[in-house]
């Protein structure tokens, strides 16, 4: 079975009422590839208005969620809150969460399990630093991050993996097409040997890291690249070109 191409837009801590409405107007009125699944992740304060106004098949994701039930967790969102308001997706394990907020792979795994148990879909981010790549540890790092999750979940049908080399996020640097495909192929091989061949064949693996309308078409031709998780470019009109990169 062919894997449905997937393009996610992670707005991070960017946007205003006016700018996000502009992004939505652009997406709602655009001719988007009907064979590509599109999910956007605005800052949490804009989640509800974005979900209310998004159309044209565009779904909405939170950028994070807590792994405990409702309670005394100041500043957090729980899975119950997201589900109650019709938010279907959540991004977990992004390198900024891992580095800036010191989230361990075990915590990311706990969050992933909690999200899946609540019925949410997860965009699970993994990736290596430049030092780790230079040391030849790309797959060791990525597979270690995945193993923490594999140890705690059984069903991968609602998980999309986003391979995001840390050194390429927001830097303007991008992995070459060959580097990206090599990493994606290695991740898929790990899934096959460590989880199951069926999971490996069905799970979508996205590339993220300074994806633009200029490099997306070449990346999209690779057999193990099933889409993109886009950062800064998702705030621009050219995001539509990335969504349509398979056309």
Going from the C-alpha of 68 to that of each of 43, 73, 98, 219, the distances in angstroms are 21, 9, 18, 37
125 within a domain of the structure (yes/no): yes
32 within a domain of the structure (yes/no): no
DSSP single-letter state for residue 2: P
45 within a domain of the structure (yes/no): no
| pLDDT over 80 (residue 187) | yes
Confidence of residue 167 (pLDDT cuts 50, 70, 90): confident
CATH no. for residue 104? Answer: 3.20.20.70
Q: What contacts 131, CB < 8 A, 6 or more positions away?
A: none
Q: What is the pLDDT of residue 18?
A: 98
Choose the catalytic residue: 67, 164, 184, 213.
164
113 within a domain of the structure (yes/no): yes
* Average pLDDT of the residues of the chain: 96
Q: What is the pLDDT of residue 173?
A: 76
Mind listing the pLDDT tens digit for each residue in 74-114?
999 999 999 999 999 999 999 999 999 999 999 999 999 99
Mind listing the pLDDT tens digit for each residue in 24-43?
999 999 999 999 999 999 99
Q: What is the pLDDT of residue 127?
A: 96
Going from the C-alpha of 173 to that of each of 36, 127, 208, 213, 239, the distances in angstroms are 25, 14, 11, 14, 18
Mind listing the pLDDT tens digit for each residue in 132-153?
998 999 999 999 999 999 999 9
164 as an active site residue: the answer is yes
47 within a domain of the structure (yes/no): no
pTM higher than 0.85 for the full model? yes
43 within a domain of the structure (yes/no): no
* Count of all residues that appear for the chain in the document: 247
Choose the catalytic residue: 94, 103, 128, 213.
94
Confidence of residue 1 (pLDDT cuts 50, 70, 90): low
83 within a domain of the structure (yes/no): yes
33 within a domain of the structure (yes/no): no
Please give, one letter per residue, the 3-state secondary structure of 45-63: HHHHHHHHHCCCCCEEEEC
- What total number of domains does the chain contain? 1
Closest CA to 162 of 84, 101, 234: 234
Residue-range definition of the domain harbouring residue 171? 5-12+60-65+77-243
Q: Report the percentage of the chain scoring pLDDT > 70.
A: 100
């Amino acid at each position: 079975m062919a894997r449905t191409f997937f393009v996610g837009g992670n707005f991070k801590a960017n946007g205003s009422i006016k700018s996000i409405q502009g992004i939505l107007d652009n997406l709602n009125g655009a001719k988007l590839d009907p064979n590509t699944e599109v999910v956007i992740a605005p800052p949490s304060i804009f989640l509800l208005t974005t979900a209310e106004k998004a159309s044209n098949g565009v779904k909405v994701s939170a950028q994070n969620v807590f792994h405990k039930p409702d309670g005394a967790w100041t500043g957090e969102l729980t899975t119950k809150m997201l589900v109650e308001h019709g938010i279907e997706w959540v991004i977990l394990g992004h390198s900024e969460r891992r580095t800036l907020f010191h989230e361990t792979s075990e915590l990311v795994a706990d969050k992933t399990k909690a999200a899946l148990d609540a019925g949410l879909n997860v965009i699970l981010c993994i990736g290596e630093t430049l030092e780790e790549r230079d040391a030849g540890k790309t797959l060791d790092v990525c597979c270690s991050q995945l193993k923490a999750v594999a140890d705690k979940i059984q069903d991968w049908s609602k998980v999309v993996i986003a391979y995001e080399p840390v050194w390429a996020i927001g830097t303007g640097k991008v992995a070459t097409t060959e580097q990206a495909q090599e990493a994606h192929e290695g991740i898929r091989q790990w899934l096959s040997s460590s989880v199951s061949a069926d999971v490996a064949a069905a799970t979508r693996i996205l590339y993220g890291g300074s994806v633009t309308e200029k490099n997306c078409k070449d990346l999209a031709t690779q057999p193990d690249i099933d889409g993109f998780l886009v950062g800064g470019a998702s705030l621009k009109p050219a995001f539509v070109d990335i969504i349509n990169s398979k056309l």
